[in-house]
Amino acid sequence: MSPTVMLALFGLLPFTIYMFIRYPSQRAVVIVFITAFIFLPVAAFKLPGIPEYSKTSAPCYCILLATFIYDPQRFSSFKFGWLDVPMVCWCLSPFAASITNGLGPYDGFSTTLAQTMAWGAPYFLGRIYLNNLEGLRQLTLGIFAGGLIYVPLCLFESRMSPQLHRMVYGFAARKDFAQTIRLGGYRPTVFMVHGLWVGVWMMSAALIAVWLWKTGTIKRFWNMPMDWLVLTLLVTFIMCRSTGAYLYFVMGLFILFVVKYCRTALPMYLLMFGLCFYLYLGVSGGFTGGEVVSFVADTIGPDRAQSLEFRFINEGPLAEKARERMLFGWGGWGRARIFDEWGEDISVTDSLWIIAFGNQGLFGLSTFVTSVLLPSLSFCWLGYPPSTWTHPKVAPAAVLVVLLPLFMLDSVLNAMVNQIFMLAAGGLTGLMLSKTEPQQATSARSSPARRSTARQR
């Protein structure tokens, strides 16, 4: 591990402490998470007895420590609620898998701790820090700002090929350079694991920009007019050359504009239902994918259809093996993978859902899906109906509500552990469980912002 990598990873701790001293805690948490996600190297440092210190876990370690030092009362402010049950079950699912497969309690505890740090920790931090409309606004603006920061970096790599990670940290984040060549150019990876991550990140920033602009939530940002910033983000997003992210953006934009003009979130509900139905077919073995591949080949192109067909072909045998341990899965150590007669691993696991189903079974998969989708459903059904989403105080949280199902859609196709979305899920859950938060957006006389900022530090 090079000195630059060590400096970046462990330099996050003093940076976090400075952020907590310099800014209010909500803003500090958002800045640290966004900075780590877009700038830290794709590397990990093993720690004895606890999950490794890496790009994804570093902000959680640092913020938890800073909270213990500067804001310890935050821990006592956490009140467990029924909406937290799916995330707790998702974090505990590796323990059930280890015990039922005879791997022992130590293995179960170790894998549970790793899963908790990857998913539960950012969710928990969102619960205790971003559990009001102002906190969710801070996160939304943080993603927007992070997308703007990535604009020159993405444009550079789109022209010169993905080289920034190698230039700064001394090694390439991904060895398969062929996957960076798409649509007649280069797909940027910047400081992330894969160009698909960058595509989803820039999609999120672009969708946020359009929504905040169209709802009039923000007129200027960084002393620049929003229309120019929106145009800049859209052009850069297109240059990311990620067809999947293009699809997510169009779907998200359609959902939000239906909400704006028709006052209904029906398209989002249909997307959630479609995802659950697809997963049901995948778990039960009733999905072949032939019609979908043909449709993609006719509408998008044969290259994308071939990629999708490759995923479906590999998921079939993996799902079949996972059904042998239907309830709690095979556990860790590659037991859910497929090996040939010579013991060679011939599995290709591109999708997060098949990994969850194989390792933690139906219990793990269902709790993961519920952890991602339930915050969005509860936001619509328990507090903020779609008719309130264009309110300038509610709009930032509303766009996060739409991004979570889009992340779930991406998890059906790819395997990306994105802690920013878990931070949003925790914040939305905390908003719904908080007794002092408004249950509906009302008129300016009883503004949600005034009541939510009363909880702000």
Residues 245 and 237 sit within 8 Å (Cβ to Cβ): yes
What is the rounded distance in angstroms from the CA atom of residue 142 to the CA atom of residue 59?
Answer: 15
Residues 429-435: what's their mean pLDDT?
A: 87
Q: How far is CA 404 from CA 149, 191, 288, in A?
A: 22, 23, 26
Give the model confidence (pLDDT) of 334-344 as tens digits: 888 888 778 78
pLDDT for 290: 67
pLDDT at position 96 is 95
Give the pLDDT confidence score for residue 184 in this predicted structure: 78
Percent of the chain with pLDDT over 90: 71
SS3 72: coil
Q: Is-above-0.85 flag for pTM? A: yes
pLDDT tens track for 81-101: 999 999 999 999 999 999 999
260 phi/psi in degrees, rounded to 5? -65, -40
pLDDT per residue as tens digits for the range 157-168:
999 989 999 999
Average pLDDT over residues 228-233: 96
Q: Is the model's pLDDT at 66 over the cut of 80?
A: yes
Q: Please, which residues bridge with residue 47 across strands?
A: 50
d(CA 427, CA 443): 23
Please tell me the predicted confidence (pLDDT) of residue 434: 85
* Structure token pair of residue 152: 């020159």
Residues in CB range of 39: below 8 A, 6 or more apart: 8, 191
Q: Is the pLDDT of residue 449 over 50?
A: no
Selection from 55, 64, 77, 57 nearest residue 127 by Cα:
77
Which tens digit of pLDDT belongs to each residue from 212-224?
A: 999 999 999 999 9
Q: What's the chain's average pLDDT?
A: 89
